[in-house]
Copies of this chain bind each other. A is one copy, B any other.
Amino acid sequence: MNIAPRAVYIATAQVRDDEMADRVAKHQARRGAEWTNVAEPIDLIGALKRTDGQGPRLVDCLTLWLTNLMLGDHDWRGLGRELVAGLAGQSDPVVFVTNEVGGGIVPENALARAFRDAAGELNQWVAAEADEVYLAVAGLPLKVKPND
Contacts and interface: CB of A to CB of B under 8 A. Distances in A.
Interface of A: 19, 98-105, 107-110, 112-113, 115-116, 120, 123-124, 126-128, 133, 135, 137-145, 147
Contacts of A142: 135, 142, 144, 147
The 9 closest A-B pairs by CB, nearest first: A104-B104, A103-B103, A124-B139, A127-B138, A123-B138, A105-B112, A137-B144, A135-B137, A142-B144
Contacts of A143: 147
A62 to B, nearest CB: 10
A44 to B, nearest CB: 18
Contact of A103 (B101, B108, B123, B141): B101
Nearest to A127: B138
A140 B123 CA distance: 10
Instruction: Say what secondary structure dominates the interface of chain A.
Output: mixed
Contacts of A102: 99, 103-104
Contacts of A101: 103-105
21 contacts: A19-B110, A98-B138, A100-B137, A100-B138, A101-B103, A101-B105, A102-B103, A104-B105, A104-B107, A105-B112, A105-B116, A124-B138, A124-B139, A127-B137, A127-B140, A133-B137, A138-B144, A140-B144, A140-B145, A142-B142, A143-B147
Nearest to A114: B19
Given A103-B101, A105-B104, A107-B105, A139 B127 contact: yes
